[in-house]
Structure 1
Amino acid sequence: MSQSAYIQLVEGSAQPTFTLDELKEALVSYKDQLALTGKQLGWDYEDAGFPYSFETKPEGEGKWFYLKGKNSLYKYIVLGVGSRPDGSGTERSFIQVVLPDDSTHGDKAKANELCKHLGKRLKAELHLFNGRIMYFNPRK
């Protein structure tokens, strides 16, 4: 059975909505940060830190895409965006990160890393794969 994590944009988040293109841009920015870190270390850290390529399928166009692993330690991570009403009736955007059934332990570790990075960047509420919640948004 596949597992899902959610990054929910709540009141106090860096932005109220998030599109699929913005998600791709955020991941490319993350990949670029890893490349700069690797340059400072004198090591090709980009391939180790982000061992995926961006892939799309026609049925997911505009709704989701997946990251395909570049080596045998990683297979797939599916990412999508959406919105749903919260308890007060306000539409809230979210990012869903899905680990398909055949995902590896490496995929789960990288997915957790990506979720935490996006949660911090967006000041969002992160619902992890294990059901726990991390709050990166300013709460009163």
Structure 2
Amino acid sequence: MQHAFITLVPKSNQQSVSIEDVKHLFHNYKTVTSKTGNQINYAYTNTAFPYEILDTSATTLKLQSSHDRYDSIYVGIGIEKEQSFIQVSLPTTATFGDKGKANEFSRFLAKKLEGELQLFNGRTMYFYKR
């Protein structure tokens, strides 16, 4: 499995995150992309977010797709050293499309929460004011 982490730092918008917060952010993403689709007269919503959100436990979500280019992405939350984090994981069955969407979703979540994002390739992006 490959993983990306979004860590909430002291300068983030909030210091903790729940699975409901993550769901709300995904619904926000769907709303934003559907508005973009309306502006360009294209049904962009299903292309931008080709997943169904499934609860797998109190701290994890599974984004499952029925499209042929996508399989699934796992999203979990946790706390380490008093800092909350969101973990985005790609199973071994993930496609290149899943990895692209996971990178896109990770950046979106990190930007909205003003956190620190460690990408799948190990590089770090900072979305908080420094």
TM-score, with structure 2 as normaliser: 0.98
| Aligned alpha-carbon RMSD (Å) | 0.7
Aligned equivalents of 2:91 and 2:110: distance in 1?
A: 21
2:117 maps to what in 1?
126
2:72 maps to what in 1?
76
Q: Which whole-Å deviations, capped at 9, do the CAs of 1:9-54 have from their partners, x for residues lacking one? A: 0010010000000000000110111111111111100011111011
1:88 maps to what in 2?
none
Return 5+ residue gaps in structure 1 as ranges.
Answer: 86-90
Which structure is larger by alpha-carbon Rg, 1 or 2? 1
Once the two structures are aligned, what percentage of the paired residues are identical? Answer: 40
TM-score, with structure 1 as normaliser: 0.91
1:67 maps to what in 2?
63
Q: CA offset at residue 3 of structure 1?
A: 0.2
Are positions 1:96 and 2:87 aligned together?
A: yes
1:33 maps to what in 2?
32
Aligned equivalents of 1:84 and 1:96: distance in 2?
A: 12
Aligned equivalents of 1:74 and 1:95: distance in 2?
A: 21
Aligned equivalents of 1:18 and 1:80: distance in 2?
A: 10
Return 5+ residue gaps in structure 2 as ranges.
Answer: none
